[in-house]
Amino acid sequence: METNQTGAESKKKLYIGAIVVLMLINTVTLYFLFSENKAKEDLSSQTSSLQADFRSLSDTLSVKNSEIEQFRGKNAELDQAITAKEEMLVKEKKQIQGLLAKNKLTQKDLNEAQGMLAEYKTSITDMTAKIDELTKQNQQLTAQNQQLNTDLTSEKQTTSQLTATNQGLSQKVAVGSLLPIANVDVEAIKKKGNGKEVEVKHAKVAESLKISFETGNNKVIDPGTVSLYVLIINPKGETIAVADQGSGTIQSADNSEAIQYTKKADIDYNQSNKKVVVYWGQNIKDPGTYKVELYQSGHVVGQGQVKLS
């Protein structure tokens, strides 16, 4: 009787031990399954976070590339640096994309991608710093150019003022160098048989116009030849000009236009008053008023007229 009880108790203990062992095995198995699932979840979460960071950095890189492109073409050395930096970033980007494109990313792959992403981020930071440096340099150059433009404008204004002043002085000198002719006397004449000149009032009998004036005194003009240009304007308002009688053109001092003159008169001038007479005998047969203008260096220095019937 006692032997049967002892055998039953032994079997019971064996059953209990087996149950305990099975429970331990299940517990360990569940632990490893839980740990593995947790690791997979963590890996998936890290991968998602890594992909999000990568997209954000890629967007940032696109913006930075656009910003830095505006500095291309301004400096050969700078262009090389920009190209090298962009090529490195493109290479890093492709490598990260290759890792993230794997269907099953291992922890080793994840660690490698994280390291490359850190380098990628550093490269973008370097590019940002380069852009800031270029922007600062560009702003300095812009400020210098603005200052140069301001200085150039000021120089132009000064030059313009000096030019205007010089032109004014030149004009004053030119005006100061003109003969102070007060009156110009114009009369129609004919000669008698004895050679004596007689003033006439009829155009039909006039042989020539006699133009008389005094030069006046001018100590500014250097002694020597002074050229005067005589314009005789007929009753129709036309300047009388005969090429083979010495007529020609001069340039107006006021507007640089060509002015036709009738006759040139060269005067031997010695800075003191001198009486001058000029004769003209061509195309004076029409009745009416004949006007005379005297020009020196493009300026009108004397005027007179005569009316013939």
- Cα(134)–Cα(141) distance, integer angstroms: 10
**Angle at the Cα of 126 from the Cα atoms of 120 and 128, rounded to 5 degrees:** 105
The one-digit pLDDT tens for each residue of the chain (309 residues) are 555 566 667 666 676 766 666 666 656 565 555 445 554 555 566 667 666 666 666 666 666 666 666 666 666 666 676 677 777 777 776 776 776 666 565 667 667 766 776 776 777 677 777 767 777 777 787 788 788 888 787 777 777 776 655 554 455 446 678 998 988 999 999 998 888 999 999 999 999 999 999 999 998 888 999 999 999 999 999 999 998 998 999 999 888 899 999 999 999 999 999 999 999 999 999 999 999 999 998 999 999 999 999
Phi and psi (nearest 5°) for 118? -65, -40
- Cα(224)–Cα(271) distance, integer angstroms: 9
- Cα(75)–Cα(300) distance, integer angstroms: 61
- Kindly report the length of the chain: 309
The pLDDT, as a whole number, for residue 173 is 47
Contact by Cβ (8 Å): 264, 243: no
Contact by Cβ (8 Å): 190, 207: yes
Domain 184-308: CATH architecture, name and number where available:
Sandwich (2.60)
- Cα(199)–Cα(208) distance, integer angstroms: 10
CA nearest neighbour of 292 among 214, 225, 209, 216: 209
Strands (E) located in 113-200: 184-191, 197-200
Domain boundaries, given as residue ranges, for the chain: 2-141, 184-308
Whole-model pTM: value is 0.47
Contact by Cβ (8 Å): 97, 58: no
Contact by Cβ (8 Å): 239, 232: yes
Helix (H, G, I), strand (E, B) or coil at 132: helix
- Cα(55)–Cα(137) distance, integer angstroms: 31
The pLDDT, as a whole number, for residue 240 is 93
Neighbouring C-beta atoms of residue 105, cutoff 10 Å = 19
- Cα(128)–Cα(141) distance, integer angstroms: 20
- Cα(198)–Cα(214) distance, integer angstroms: 21
- Residue corresponding to tokens 């061509």: 282
**To which H or E segment does residue 249 belong?**
strand 248-251
DSSP state of 200: E
**To which H or E segment does residue 80 belong?**
helix 76-100
